[in-house]
Amino acid sequence: MRGSASQPPPRSDRFIVDDSPSRYHAIPRLAEVPVGLAITDPRVSTAVAAAGVTKTIALAPDDLAVRADMKDRGMSIGFTSELTLRRGVADLPILTSVMMNLIPAKSSKGWTPYVGPLPRGLRTTDTKDDVIARLGEPQSLSADFFSAGWLVDGLDLGVTFTSDWTKIRQLGLSLPGSL
C-alpha cells in the first residue's frame, strides 16, 4: 500500500513510510522510534533500511556501541550492545538513540539540516521557554551547553539550543542509561 493525498502513508509500527517524491522516503517520528529493540527485530531492520542506511549495523569484537549517520537527512542513530544494557548477547546491537541535527555546526562537514517531524509538537523555531511550556520543567539544564533534558514516555529527550536559546539546534531521543 502506498501513501497518497487521500489516504495517510502506511505505518510500519513506529515509523511512517512515505512514498512521496521527497528525499525523505522514511522519516522516523521521534516519539515513535522503536528505541530499545534489537537490530534483528523486523520493525527496526525494516525502518533502518527504509531510512536509507546502507551500513551494516554490527558491533566489532571490542565495541560496545555503533552509530549510523544519515548526513543527507540530518539524522544519526545509535546502537548499544545488549550485553551493556541487559547482560545479554554481547554482539546484538539494540537501537538506543536517534539524533536530529536541525542546525548543523559549522564543523559538521557534509551534514544537511533535518527537516522532518519532531516529537510532542516541537518546532525548530521553538525557544527554550516554548519547549518548557510544552514539556514542563526539564530534569536537567546546562547553561554551558545550552541544553535541557526531559524524561518523556520512558525515554530521554535531549534538546540543544542555539547559544541565545531561541532555536532548537539538535534534538535526541534515547533509552535512559544507554549513553
* Residue 25: other Cβ atoms inside 10 A: 14
On whether residue 1 sits in a domain, the answer given is no
2 has a pLDDT exceeding 50: no
On whether residue 22 sits in a domain, the answer given is yes
Give the tens place of pLDDT for each residue, 47-104.
787 777 888 888 887 788 888 888 888 888 888 888 777 776 667 888 888 899 998 8
Q: What is the pLDDT of residue 162?
A: 93
Give the tens place of pLDDT for each residue, 127-140.
999 999 999 999 99
Q: What is the pLDDT of residue 26?
A: 38
On whether residue 153 sits in a domain, the answer given is yes
Rounded to 5°, the CA angle 76-81-82 comes to: 125
Domain of 155 in residue numbering reads as: 11-174
On whether residue 2 sits in a domain, the answer given is no
Cell of 130: 516554548
On whether residue 3 sits in a domain, the answer given is no
Report how many domains make up the chain: 1
Give the tens place of pLDDT for each residue, 108-161.
888 999 988 888 889 989 999 999 999 999 999 999 999 999 998 888 999 999
3-state secondary structure the chain: CCCCCCCCCCEECCEEECCCCCCCCEEECHHHCCCCCECCCHHHHHHHHHCCCCCCCCCCCCCCEEEEEEHHHCEEEEEEEHHHHHCCCCCCEEEEEEEEECCCCCCCCCCCCCCCCCHHHCCCCCCHHHHHHHHCCCCEEECCCCEEEEEECCEEEEEEECCCCCCEEEEEEECCCCC
On whether residue 139 sits in a domain, the answer given is yes
On whether residue 93 sits in a domain, the answer given is yes
Q: Please give the mean pLDDT across all residues of the chain.
A: 77
* Residue 157: other Cβ atoms inside 10 A: 23
Cell of 73: 537527512
Cα radius of gyration (the chain): 16
